[in-house]
Structure 1
Amino acid sequence: MSKLKIGVIISSTRPTRFGELPAKWILDKANERPEIEAELVDLRDFDLPFFDEVASNAWAPSQNANAVKWQNKISEFDGYIFVVAEYNRAITGALKNAIDQAYVNWNKKTFGAVGYGSVGGARAIENLRTIGVELQMVSTRSAVHIAGADFMSVHPGFGGTKAISEIEGSIGNSATDMLDQLVWWGEATKAARAEEAATAKAAE
């Protein structure tokens, strides 16, 4: 089977965001895996409107060109790693809006997450998993949580000076577990989608 194409999605678009640092770290970790070809996906690059279509693309083609560009991009991937900021116990509005701009493009794929914040983005990741159920996605059991003193030590806004790689003693095992599960589910869902497509084609 060919390599899994994995999109590493940064969930915040703020000028002062922290998300780029863990995103680049997990991107490198993912690309160390022989089964994965990972790519950074930045919501800033798509200038998405607030969702304003008549319905999701499960029911009607989207009309906004940027939404279609986004759908085409996420369709390239077999799975995703969401780099999750936690805003008021949930994912960011920017990420929720991006997710809502598509539906069929997410279906029957897998995802993992890297969260950060006072509790490591745990509540936001659970929020994301709930959304993933509706999108017919499979979440990894494990996630990476950058929390507490580790978070403060790597966040420049709090005076942190460490690189993410310097706290791998705390988060490295979780990253390995998450990537192991992402590969397992990614290969399983990729094979199932291919079989489904072949069956549909044979029935034409």
Structure 2
Amino acid sequence: MLNIAIIPGTSRPQALNPQIVNWVEQQLASNGDVRAEVVDFGSFDLPLLDEVIPAGAKMYANDHTKAWGAKLEEFDAFIFVTPEYNHSISGSLKNALDFVATEFNHKVAGIVNYGADKGVRAAEHLRHILANYKLAVVRDQASFSIFTDVADGTFAPTEVSTAPFASMVDDIVAWGEALKSVREAGAEEQAA
């Protein structure tokens, strides 16, 4: 079974994000190939990046970084639910990602994005950031418009918008299982 973390993409109060995160969690609940958990970086009390040594060295000095990194280590895959703010991801998500690095190596991710233009620019920016972590991002993504998939402040996705989600999850499972063997081979190599 593949362990997937659903990562909310913003810490903004009263955001639409929790509704979409909840939808993602509900979609995954019926999939027998995965175990999903919402992992909100906001619950780790991460300040603006305060680690002295770059994350790639994994020499964390602060307890909040150690806890955030340890939680991410538990997962084989990630689904990022990101809004588009000013043609990119939120500053809070970028900050949370900057704290860690190797916890994402040789794992897989999918992106669920939303905004006025379906959040596609945020998704593209996020793909570039995640590639730096040796994190494989599957092609398909679910993209939602705040004009057609939201009614009176309530997330009400159209069938057209939700359709890519199933194939995204199928690819996450397939790639996630394959990448487990890559991580296992790397661990064996380090132990030798």
TM-score by shorter chain over 0.5 = yes
Mapped pair 1:181 → 2:171: yes
2:181 aligned partner: 191
Map residues 1-204 of structure 1 onto 2, 5 A cutoff.
3-59=1-57, 61-153=59-151, 159-161=152-154, 163-164=155-156, 167-201=157-191, 203=192
Q: Which runs of 5+ in 2 are unaligned?
A: none
SS of 1:23's partner is helix
Per-residue CA deviations over 1:144-201 (Å, capped at 9, x if unaligned) read 1001532342xxxxx244x53xx34122321111111111111111121112223433
Listed one character per residue, the Cα deviations across residues 98-149 of structure 1 (whole Å, up to 9, x for unaligned) are 1010011111111001111111110000000001111111001011100153
Q: Which has the higher strand share?
A: 2
Q: Give, in whole Å, the separation in 2 of the partners of 1:168 and 1:175.
A: 12
Contact 2:58 2:101 survives alignment (8 Å)? no
TM-score of the superposed pair, with normalisation by structure 1: 0.89
Percent of pairs with identical residues: 33
Distance 1:47 1:176 in 2: 33
Q: Distance in 1 between matches of 2:146 and 2:35?
A: 31
TM, length-normalised to structure 2 = 0.94
Structure 1 counterpart of 2:122, one-letter code: A
- Check 1:182–1:53 CA distance in 2 against 1; reply closer, same or farther (3 A cut): same
Instruction: Measure, in 2, the Cα distance between the counterparts of 1:57 and 1:147.
Output: 34
8 Å CA contact 1:8–1:23 kept in 2: the answer is: yes
Measure how far apart 1:92 and its partner are. 0.5
Task: Tell whether the 8 Å contact from 2:107 to 2:136 is kept in structure 1 after alignment.
Answer: yes
CA distance in 1, matches of 2:120, 2:14: 21
Moved over 6 A (4+): none
Alpha-carbon separation, structure 2, partners of 1:176 and 1:12:
24
Evaluate the alpha carbon distance shift between residue 68 and residue 113 of structure 1 in structure 2; reply closer, same or farther with a 3 A threshold: same
Tell me how far apart the structure 1 counterparts of residues 87 and 74 of structure 2 sit (CA, whole Å). 30
Q: Could you say what secondary structure the match of 1:138 adopts?
A: strand
CA distance in 2, matches of 1:132, 1:31: 25
**Whole-Å separation in 1 of the counterparts to 2:53 and 2:111:** 27
- Cα root mean square deviation, aligned: 1.5
How far apart in 2 are the matches of 1:141 and 1:16?
A: 30
Amino acid at match of 1:58: G
Structure 1 residue 82, shift from structure 2 partner? 0.3
Residues 15-35 of structure 1, C-alpha deviations (whole Å, 9 max, x = no match): 111101110111121222111
Unaligned runs of at least 5 residues, structure 1? 154-158
